[in-house]
Chains A and B, each alone.
Chain A
Amino acid sequence: MAPSDSGLGGRTGGGFGNEKERVKVGVSDAEVTTRDVTLVTSGLGSCLGVALYDPHSGIGGLLHAMLPESADHPGPPEKFVVDGIDQMIDDLDRAGAARRSIQAKLAGASSMLDLETESASVGEQNVDAAHRALEARNVPIKNADTGGSNGRSIRFEPAEGKLFVSSADGDRRVL
């Protein structure tokens, strides 16, 4: 994951009207940008979306993490809430964000299914992990829309620090 100051699609002009260019963030993926773009990720069930941004510089990023912490589990840092947050803070730092100004917004981590052999759902564990990791790194959580039993798709505009959350039943929230 590298700051996408050039990146793909730099010349597309962002499609229709004044809509910003959209940049896709996959599952177990993160994107940090210095540009005025919209970061989008969809299909958050138990996965957690973590938006981090520096409101002064407008530099920000979005993480779509699957599990709380790497521990012994296989996969890249972006697969995990804690490891992904660490990586994203480093990338924000490198991209020129002020470390002390970084703020967070969270969305996702629902508990749609009651899977056997689980004390807490993956969604709950992901939210706990995010709270622990962000608190330890002195990053305030400005707003959150987590839990419940619905899936979510999110769009993040780092320049404004706005996180748009929509669910399958048509509900929309702006955090």
Chain B
Amino acid sequence: MYVDIQSLETFSRLAAEGASTAADSLGQLTGTDVYVEVTDVTLMAAGDLRETFAGREFVGVEVGLEGGIVGQTVMAFERDAAEVLLEKLMPGSGSVDDESFARSGVQEAGNIMTSGFIDGWADHLGVGIDMTPPSYVRATGTDILPGNAFDNDRAGVFMFESRIRSLNNKLEFTIYMLPEYAGFTDMLQRTEGGSSPAIPVEKLPEFNQMTKQGATSAADNITMMTGTETDVEVSRLRFVPIQDVPSEVGDTTVAGTIFELHGRPSGYLAILFDEASAEEVAQGMIPTETEPGIGEMERGALRELGNIMTSGFIDGWANVLETSIEHTPPQFIHDMGSAVMDPLVSRLGRTQEHAFIIDSTVRTPDDDVRCDIYALPDQHELAAALDQIDDGVSVGGR
């Protein structure tokens, strides 16, 4: 089944607008300057979502939709975030442990947000969408999802994720919105039309798996070069407004390497370590003692490491996509993460308003070293390349 990029852009925009309306309402209710930092659409294999959500406690509301969209939708927060939110909504009057208090507070917040989203969709589709009254849900891990949204036989799970922040108050939390997969993909397909390139959605989880394999071989290369055990924690494919890519990376100082990719797809690959991790891995590669910090020796080591990680990463892509992808020599960077992504985003932003960002996190078991690998492919070329993936390849949750 094909979803055209334009539809996905529309839904990303509607989700962002919905979240923004919700943030405005919350801001008024709580007297804080909350704003939406970023809203992304993630498509995950069911197994990956299970891993990401494992052990996390959520509270939220579930509504049933009828009319233009059919299915269940869950709007959820992590329990800790709900606690903060409830304290802001109704200061000093209870905690999340107080079930009836939590129920009314979460329902109120959930109601505002869900209507924001759903009204936007209804307007866009030009159809009426009826919502059943929201029911309160509290669960751990993927049990928070509507019954039909999480099904190992399905190709994946769509998740809208809005990061809400306040500049003047210490407040930061994420709202997850998970529509029932089948209803949502049907709708995306229904709005399909026009000449914009289309993404074969059933192949996205396969692509995700392939990226994870690429990241695993990149991680193995870290182990080989530095003797440090590493593992790929999570790998996901997000679809975000192009201007929000830098905030996905954040303002923390990073060190690492940037590569241009040529082939199908072309694009960019950024291998970014936090400063302490960069120092640690670089020193693992340098036989002699060096001065603390990231000096010329460390830069050289990180370039070399980046080079070999990139080869491992894109070989995985090229194999599955059956294309050839070349990469440029590494460019060393040591700066604010968001600023590093800026020139890449500017280049892609000439032709596209949204970007696919493929993000893999590599960590050591003791958490001493963390590395984020971000791939930013040209979206049209990615769409074309995904279409080439064999239909016979198994997809979906594990």
A43 to B352, Cβ gap below 8 A? no
B341 to A45, Cβ gap below 8 A? yes
Given contacts A43-B246, A151-B335, contact A66 B346 (CB under 8 A): yes
A-chain residues with CB within 8 Å of residue B288 when the two chains form the complex:
none
A121 to B335, Cβ gap below 8 A? no
Chain B proximity mask over A100-122: 1 for CB below 8 Å, otherwise 0: 00000000001011111000011
B-chain residues with CB within 8 Å of residue A40 when the two chains form the complex:
167
Nearest residue in B to A150 (C-beta to C-beta)?
B335
Separation of A14 and B167 alpha carbons in the complex (Å)? 9
Separation of A23 and B166 alpha carbons in the complex (Å)? 9
B-chain residues with CB within 8 Å of residue A66 when the two chains form the complex:
243, 342, 345-346, 349
Write the nearest CB–CB distance from A92 to chain B, whole angstroms: 22
A45 to B32, Cβ gap below 8 A? no
B-chain residues with CB within 8 Å of residue A43 when the two chains form the complex:
246-247, 251, 336-339, 341-342
Q: How many residues of B contact A (CB 8 A)?
A: 42
A-chain residues with CB within 8 Å of residue B346 when the two chains form the complex:
46-47, 66-67, 122
Write the nearest CB–CB distance from A6 to chain B, whole angstroms: 11
Q: Is A29 an interface residue (CB 8 A)?
A: yes
Q: Is B168 an interface residue (CB 8 A)?
A: yes
Q: Is A9 an interface residue (CB 8 A)?
A: yes
A115 to B347, Cβ gap below 8 A? yes
B343 to A45, Cβ gap below 8 A? yes
Partner of B339, one of A8, A44, A74: A44
Q: Is B186 an interface residue (CB 8 A)?
A: no
Separation of A17 and B334 alpha carbons in the complex (Å)? 34
A110 to B339, Cβ gap below 8 A? yes
A8 to B35, Cβ gap below 8 A? yes
Interface centre among A24, A114, A152 (most CB of B within 10 A): A24
Given contacts A27-B244, A73-B349, A153-B251, contact A45 B24 (CB under 8 A): no
Q: Is B123 an interface residue (CB 8 A)?
A: no
Chain A proximity mask over B1-41: 1 for CB below 8 Å, otherwise 0: 00000000000000000000000100100011111000000
Q: Is A12 an interface residue (CB 8 A)?
A: yes
Separation of A20 and B242 alpha carbons in the complex (Å)? 30
Q: Is B351 an interface residue (CB 8 A)?
A: yes
Separation of A152 and B335 alpha carbons in the complex (Å)? 9
Nearest residue in B to A7 (C-beta to C-beta)?
B33
Given contacts A45-B338, A79-B243, A151-B342, contact A9 B27 (CB under 8 A): yes
The residues of B with any CB-CB pair to A shorter than 8 Å are: 24, 27, 31-35, 166-169, 242-244, 246-247, 251, 253, 258, 260, 328, 331, 333-347, 349-353
The residues of A with any CB-CB pair to B shorter than 8 Å are: 8-9, 11-12, 14-15, 21-24, 26-29, 40, 42-47, 66-67, 73-75, 79, 110, 112-116, 121-123, 150-153, 167-168
- Pairs of residues from A and B, 7 with the lowest C-beta to C-beta distance, nearest first: A151-B339, A9-B33, A43-B338, A45-B342, A45-B339, A28-B243, A27-B243
